């Protein structure tokens, strides 16, 4: 039966409590497990595995690699504590004349006595292991009869208070109301990949491993994202812009102060940016450049073009530390060009803030640098021609477009020093054109990278002392402890105290929780050479520029992503002297961690490193941070390569669909509108009404 699109949407977007047999309490637990509360969300809550069980007569018949189901009779129960203090219940039992020990971790003795009453037959399921003259099973499932432990069982992710049977009931009820649906995927693609229709894929993925069904569902989520991005791309590029043209005088003055000509790669990227600035459409461009490739110079020259055209420019960065770093760099190059630069941040005193805001309104400030403070409501520009966003992955799509909205037809340039695999370019920055700076500017030195176990920490400290005796300056980055900046701070302060005990006042400390004045003072001491070791958290990841620093030590390097390690390493190798990076890792993490760090040891090519990082860690983590609403997918495939392939296919399919049906008015277009709605991308459809 063919249902209208509105009816299909109403069924799938209905709250879980609307399903038969799902009361408010169970609906609440299911919503916790799923992370959302629609019928469709429950259907997309796919099993994490499928338990395969084998029924056997006696424990000795149980396979070593599979759960076995057999009968037992409990003989005794006791509560026990392990040598490490963990509580568990131990049950002595018999099964077909074999001796059996069952252990239930963190269990309650009366509860286990009720589940396995002494002298009564019960059935258990679990992995059987030989132990002494008998066998043991850890945390077995227990049932009154074997039928309650089927040979195949679906295992979903759960939360406290939610049982497998609850999810089975909810999923069963949701599948019962699942309607037939129009097809939004390309018919030849479905035939080639052997993918079932969307409703059939949901049924198959809930019932068994079904790799084709899972791939189909993962593809649908990617297709929704790619269609949405394509619609945003068309909307933004169709917005009227204005031509920003200049006479080149301010650029020439800044380049004279800089002292070097741009590299061929910088020149090529600038030519692409200039063409966008000169066009009557808005620029939406991503400038991708490896650590130390010279993106800041390209961005400055672009901003000077906007100033030459009689408008203002703004540079938004993720931290105040980086804003201050850019202010120093830009002042050195802009003052000779007669261009006024000012910073706007949360720490400005009231009088400074008022003066800066006034300068932005009257146009006496040509270029503004700042953090999120730049796009607060009270910030008004006389005429913002170009907005530049640095370290783009720290900001969401909405934030970058909000800054661009501060002006009329403002051009937008975003930059990142994190080389981005093509897959992520398509999913996170798909509405943008991309420029890439390759190679390094003149004077950049190769960095010798080595990998060491943490057991050699004393030798590393001794080597640091020898390097300092020769005048070296050393960054010492402390481990990323967790998502907590407070814990990261504690790790840095502990290492600072230990190194200061060795080297005294030659050690400085900088972390994100410090008072900004103290942190700036520590960085200044390091920049002047008064301190030779700067102990820091990842606050130095971007923007700290001390050409005399030649050694980078990173503790617990295995806790960082490869792209982030590459960023940190890029803080050295900026002067004429040979530079070194020492990666210290915890040997207990094993060979995989060391091999992963070996990639960094063997190459300085950030794009190679980014692709490896994506392959090893998957899309959701490859940028070193999860962004709400920007994860790669709720339905990831285990293989990142397969996931990347789906993104490529979805990108091409979305472009094809919109080239044939720009308004999504046809039969497949209407189905695509339903897809966007079901996967939460319906905001993009507003662009259709606006033309």
DSSP calls for 385-399: EEEEESSGGGS-HHH
Q: Stretch 125-135: mean pLDDT, rounded?
A: 93
Q: Stretch 411-438: mean pLDDT, rounded?
A: 78
CA 394 to chain centre: 10
Q: Stretch 409-429: mean pLDDT, rounded?
A: 78
Q: What is the CA radius of gyration of the chain?
A: 30
Maximum CA extent, the chain: 96
Instruction: Label residue 654 exposed, middle or buried (CB < 10 Å: 0-12, 13-18, 19+).
Output: buried
Per-residue DSSP letter, 64: T
Q: What b/e string do you get for 202-230 counting C-beta neighbours within 10 Å, with b at 16 or more?
A: bbbbbeeebeebbbbbbbbbbbbbbbbbb
Lowest mean pLDDT among 6-15, 158-167, 333-342, 499-508: 158-167
Predicted pLDDT at 621:
40
Predicted pLDDT at 523:
86
Q: Stretch 238-257: mean pLDDT, rounded?
A: 90
Which of 51-65, 175-189, 344-358 shows the highest mean pLDDT?
A: 175-189
Predicted pLDDT at 624:
35
Q: Map 36-89 to HEC letters.
A: CCEHHHHHCCCCCEEEEEEECCCHHHCCCCCEEEEEEEEEEEEEEECCCCCEEE
Q: How many whole angstroms separate alpha carbon 357 and alpha carbon 348?
A: 11
Q: Stretch 110-119: mean pLDDT, rounded?
A: 95
- Name the CA dihedral angle for 187, 189, 193, 196, rounded to a multiple of 10 degrees: -30
Lowest mean pLDDT among 86-100, 549-563, 594-608: 594-608
Collapse the DSSP code of 669 into the 3-class scheme (helix H, G, I; strand E, B; otherwise coil) and give the result.
Answer: helix
Pairing type for strands 341-344 and 473-477 reads unpaired
Per-residue DSSP letter, 34: H
Q: Stretch 378-399: mean pLDDT, rounded?
A: 78
Q: Stretch 285-293: mean pLDDT, rounded?
A: 81
Predicted pLDDT at 638:
54
Q: How many whole angstroms separate alpha carbon 577 and alpha carbon 471?
A: 11
Q: Are 70 and 127 a contacting pair, CB within 8 Å?
A: no
**Residue corresponding to tokens 């741009």:** 262
Predicted pLDDT at 620:
41
| CA-angle at 358, arms to 352 and 364, nearest 5° | 105
> Tens digits of per-residue pLDDT, 21-48?
999 999 999 999 998 999 999 999 999 8
Q: How many whole angstroms separate alpha carbon 666 and alpha carbon 627?
A: 34
Helix (H) / strand (E) containing 533: strand 533-536
> Hey, what are 244's tokens?
């920003």
The strand pairing partners of 143, in sequence order, are 123
Q: Stretch 74-93: mean pLDDT, rounded?
A: 91
Q: How many whole angstroms separate alpha carbon 569 and alpha carbon 541?
A: 9
Looking at per-residue pLDDT, the higher value among 494 and 671 belongs to: 671
Instruction: Label residue 243 exposed, middle or buried (CB < 10 Å: 0-12, 13-18, 19+).
Output: exposed
pLDDT band at 166 (very low <50, low <70, confident <90, very high): very high
Lowest mean pLDDT among 70-79, 125-134, 389-398, 412-421: 389-398
| Residue of 602, 603, 613 lying closest to 564 (CA atoms) | 613
| Residue of 212, 388, 151 lying closest to 285 (CA atoms) | 388
Q: Stretch 118-122: mean pLDDT, rounded?
A: 96
Residues in the chain: 691
The backbone region for 355, taken as left when phi is positive above 0, alpha when psi lies in -120 to 50, beta otherwise, is alpha
- Name the CA dihedral angle for 110, 115, 121, 126, rounded to a multiple of 10 degrees: -120
Phi, psi of 472 (to 5 degrees): -70, 150
pLDDT tops 60 at residue 618: no
> Hey, what are 213's tokens?
């069904």
pLDDT band at 480 (very low <50, low <70, confident <90, very high): low
> Tens digits of per-residue pLDDT, 315-359?
988 888 788 888 998 999 999 999 999 998 877 888 988 999 999
Same fold? 249-437, 447-621: yes
Q: If you average pLDDT over every residue of the chain, what do you get?
A: 86
| Residue of 69, 163, 76, 164 lying closest to 124 (CA atoms) | 69
Q: Give me the residue spans of the domains in the chain.
A: 1-48+156-179, 50-154, 181-238+639-691, 249-437, 447-621
pLDDT tops 70 at residue 543: no
pLDDT tops 80 at residue 445: no
> Hey, what are 337's tokens?
């060009």
Q: Are 583 and 449 a contacting pair, CB within 8 Å?
A: yes
**Residue corresponding to tokens 């917005």:** 239
> Hey, what are 245's tokens?
């043209």
pLDDT tops 60 at residue 9: yes
pLDDT tops 50 at residue 619: no
Q: How many whole angstroms separate alpha carbon 229 and alpha carbon 223?
A: 10
For the domain covering 249-437, report its CATH number. 3.40.50.300
The strand pairing partners of 452, in sequence order, are 584
Predicted pLDDT at 1:
52
Predicted pLDDT at 561:
81
pTM greater than the 0.85 cutoff? no
pLDDT tops 70 at residue 384: yes
Q: Stretch 260-267: mean pLDDT, rounded?
A: 90
Looking at per-residue pLDDT, the higher value among 489 and 91 belongs to: 91
Query: Would you say domain 50-154 falls under CATH 2.40.50.140?
Result: yes
Instruction: Label residue 499 exposed, middle or buried (CB < 10 Å: 0-12, 13-18, 19+).
Output: buried
Q: Stretch 595-622: mean pLDDT, rounded?
A: 73
Predicted pLDDT at 400:
61
Q: How many whole angstroms separate alpha carbon 375 and alpha carbon 60?
A: 69
Q: Stretch 562-586: mean pLDDT, rounded?
A: 87
Q: How many whole angstroms separate alpha carbon 280 and alpha carbon 573?
A: 41
Looking at per-residue pLDDT, the higher value among 289 and 388 belongs to: 388
Phi, psi of 305 (to 5 degrees): -60, -40
pLDDT tops 60 at residue 198: yes
Instruction: Label residue 16 exposed, middle or buried (CB < 10 Å: 0-12, 13-18, 19+).
Output: buried
Which of 148-162, 383-397, 546-560 shows the highest mean pLDDT?
A: 546-560
The backbone region for 584, taken as left when phi is positive above 0, alpha when psi lies in -120 to 50, beta otherwise, is beta
Q: Are 250 and 307 a contacting pair, CB within 8 Å?
A: yes
Predicted pLDDT at 79:
94
Instruction: Label residue 390 exposed, middle or buried (CB < 10 Å: 0-12, 13-18, 19+).
Output: buried
Lowest mean pLDDT among 233-242, 245-254, 293-302, 653-662: 233-242
Per-residue DSSP letter, 16: G
Predicted pLDDT at 634:
55
Overall fold of domain 447-621: Rossmann fold (3.40.50)
pLDDT band at 481 (very low <50, low <70, confident <90, very high): low
Q: How many whole angstroms separate alpha carbon 655 and alpha carbon 676?
A: 15
Predicted pLDDT at 629:
33
> Hey, what are 416's tokens?
């990142």
Q: Stretch 288-303: mean pLDDT, rounded?
A: 87
Phi, psi of 236 (to 5 degrees): -65, -40
């Amino acid at each position: 039966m063919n249902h209208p699109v509105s009816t299909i949407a109403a069924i799938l977007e209905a709250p879980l409590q609307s399903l038969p047999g799902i009361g408010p309490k169970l609906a609440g637990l299911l919503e916790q497990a799923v992370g959302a509360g629609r019928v469709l969300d429950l259907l997309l809550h796919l099993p994490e595995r499928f338990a395969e069980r084998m029924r056997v007569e006696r424990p000795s018949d149980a396979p070593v690699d599979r759960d076995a189901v057999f009968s037992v009779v409990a003989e005794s129960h006791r509560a026990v504590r392990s040598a490490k203090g963990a509580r568990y219940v131990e049950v002595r039992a018999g099964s077909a004349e074999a001796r059996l020990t069952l252990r239930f971790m963190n269990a309650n003795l009366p509860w286990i006595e009720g589940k396995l009453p002494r002298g009564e037959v019960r059935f258990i399921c679990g992995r059987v292991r030989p132990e002494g003259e008998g066998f043991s099973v850890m945390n077995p499932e227990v049932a009154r009869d074997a039928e309650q432990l089927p040979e195949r069982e679906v295992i979903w992710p759960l939360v406290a208070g939610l049982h497998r049977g609850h999810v089975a009931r909810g999923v069963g009820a949701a599948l019962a109301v699942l309607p037939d649906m129009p097809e939004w995927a390309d018919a030849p693609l479905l035939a080639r990949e052997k993918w079932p229709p969307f409703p059939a894929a949901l049924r198959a993925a809930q019932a068994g491993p079904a790799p084709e069904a899972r791939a189909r569902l993962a593809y649908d989520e990617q297709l929704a994202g790619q269609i949405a991005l394509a619609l945003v791309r068309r909307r933004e590029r169709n917005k009227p812009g204005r031509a920003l043209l200049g006479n080149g005088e301010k650029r020439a003055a800044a380049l004279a102060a800089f002292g070097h000509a741009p590299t061929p790669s910088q020149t090529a990227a600038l030519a692409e940016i200039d063409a966008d600035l000169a066009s009557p459409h808005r620029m939406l461009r991503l400038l991708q450049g490896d650590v130390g490739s010279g993106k800041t110079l390209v961005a400055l020259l672009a901003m000077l073009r906007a100033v030459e055209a009689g408008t203002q420019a703004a540079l938004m960065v993720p931290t105040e530390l980086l804003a201050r770093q850019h202010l120093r760099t830009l002042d050195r190059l802009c003052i000779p060009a007669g261009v006024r630069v000012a910073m706007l941040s949360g720490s400005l005193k009231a009088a400074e803030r008022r003066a800066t805001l006034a300068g932005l309104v009257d146009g006496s400030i040509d270029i503004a640098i700042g953090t999120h403070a730049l796009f607060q409501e009270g910030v008004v520009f006389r005429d913002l021609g170009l907005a530049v966003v640095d370290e783009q992955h720290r900001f969401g799509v909405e934030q970058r477009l909000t800054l661009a909205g501060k002006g009329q037809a403002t051009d937008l340039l975003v930059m990142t020093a994190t080389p981005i695999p093509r897959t992520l370019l398509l999913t996170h920055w798909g509405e943008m054109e991309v420029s890439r700076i390759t190679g390094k500017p003149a004077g950049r030195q190769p960095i010798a990278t080595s990998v060491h176990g943490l057991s050699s920490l004393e030798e590393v400290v001794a080597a640091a002392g020898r390097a300092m005796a020769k005048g070296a300056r050393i960054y010492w980055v402390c481990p990323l402890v967790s998502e907590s900046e407070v814990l990261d701070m504690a790790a840095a302060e502990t290492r600072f105290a230990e190194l200061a005990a060795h080297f005294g006042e030659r050690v400085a400390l900088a972390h994100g929780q410090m008072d900004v004045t103290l942190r700036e003072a520590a960085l200044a001491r390091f920049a002047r050479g008064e301190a030779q070791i700067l102990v820091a958290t990842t606050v130095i990841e971007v923007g700290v520029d001390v050409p005399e620093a030649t050694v980078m030590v990173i503790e617990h390097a295995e806790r960082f992503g490869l792209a982030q390690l590459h960023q940190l390493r890029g803080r050295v190798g900026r002067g004429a002297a040979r530079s070194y990076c020492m990666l210290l890792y915890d040997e207990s993490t094993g060979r995989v961690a060391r091999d992963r760090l070996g990639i960094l040891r063997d190459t300085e090519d950030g794009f190679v490193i980014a692709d490896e990082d994506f392959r090893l860690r998957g899309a959701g983590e490859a940028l070193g941070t999860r962004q709400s609403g920007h994860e790669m997918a709720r339905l990831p495939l285990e293989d990142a390569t397969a996931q990347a392939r789906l993104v490529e296919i979805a990108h091409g399919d979305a472009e094809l669909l919109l080239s044939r049906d720009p308004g999504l008015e046809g039969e497949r277009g209407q189905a695509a509108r339903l897809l966007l709605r079901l996967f939460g991308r319906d905001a993009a459809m507003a662009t259709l009404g606006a033309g």
